[in-house]
Chains A and B, each alone.
Chain A
Amino acid sequence: MSILNEIERDALTEIFNVGAGRAAQSLSEIVGDEVRLSVPSVEVLRSGAIDEQVLPRTRGRFATVSQNFDGPFDAEAVLLFTEDRALSIVRDMMGSQMSLDELAEFEREAMCELGNIILNACLSAMADMLEITLNSSLPQYLVSSPDDISARLASAQGDESYVLVLHIDLVIEKHQTDGHLIFLLSSSSLHALVEHVQRYLGKIGLG
């Protein structure tokens, strides 16, 4: 059984694309160039199902930025890039004349800023379109191994938890990167989110 029906998934994808558009606008002001950012797909999975299906198979580590938010539903949002991709994003954000040492110094700050921009743009689009208020905590940056991440997801809320997974395509200064934005939700928060999406669809005459 699929957790979201086709029209609900479509509505959520549109909401996140509006968020991605706002984030791209902010990022383009930082890098002084056009930024392409899109969310081609949204899916909801049980948190146990995430590692094989979603995370790219890689021996390297992941750079993650996470933020908790609360409102009509609570979730932990995690923005996830492979570490080498994260570094190249930081280089594009900070300017390519920087040395690797200098870049490493700014990595945490730049990634937190990137995460803050993308997460808040998505949350604000969701809040505006669903007509709700969401509050978020400060972003936290963590470099983790794929195993750490799987363990973190598995332990998050037990088996009654879900993950909303967004694939992200990001192009800065002609460099293509892809990452994931993952929302960890309890079953009751997922139901509250779906209910708000249905209310939104009802309001626009599609409920």
Chain B
Amino acid sequence: MASNDSGKTLLIVDDSKVSRMVIKANVLAVHPDWQVMEAGTGEEAIALVEQSVPDYCTMDINMPGMLGTDAAAQILQAHPSVRIAIFSANIQEAVQTRAQQLGALFVAKPVTEKSIGQALLHFRGPL
């Protein structure tokens, strides 16, 4: 697994700096060679993806500006190969269903080592 998992790029989208830092620290602990980009809004994320398409993306939903699910939908439409994990405190069925319909993984907040582990499994994809 280590061989094809090396040197990947990850875009972390969250309006909370604390959440971004927790995700980044946990991911780098497992994959120190990954390159991490950060965005605080969905709009910023879309602009970053236009410059450089990441392999993976974690996306918050409730942010100032557009919803993270809408940003994820736009990113996936232009770049279907990006694997996205949607991290949200909003754990309602409707939200989880929306994430699944997009082909993204839904992960319930708070951001913890465990929830980040779920996202990493999703990024790796079926072995």
Contact = CB atoms under 8 A, between A and B. Distances in A.
A14 B92 contact: no
A49 to B, nearest CB: 25
* Those 7 A-B pairs whose CB atoms lie nearest each other, nearest first: A21-B89, A34-B94, A18-B89, A17-B89, A10-B18, A21-B90, A11-B18
B18 A7 contact: yes
Contacts, number: 63
B22 A28 contact: no
Interface string B76-93: 000000000000111111
Given A205-B25, A206-B18, A206-B21, A17 B62 contact: yes
Nearest to A8: B18
Given A14-B19, A204-B25, A34 B110 contact: no
A45 interface: no
Contact-residue bracket for chain B: 10 to 19
A32 B18 CA distance: 33
Interface string A106-148: 0000000000000000000100110000000000000000000
Contacts of A11: 18
Contacts of A206: 18, 21-22
Interface of B: 16-19, 21-22, 25, 62, 88-95, 108-110
Interface residues of A, number: 28
Nearest to B24: A205
Nearest to A21: B89
Interface of A: 6-7, 10-11, 13-15, 17-22, 24-25, 28, 34-38, 125, 128-129, 201, 204-206
Nearest to B19: A14
Contact of B17 (A10, A19, A38, A205): A10
A147 B62 CA distance: 34
Contacts of B109: 14, 17-18, 21
A21 B88 contact: yes
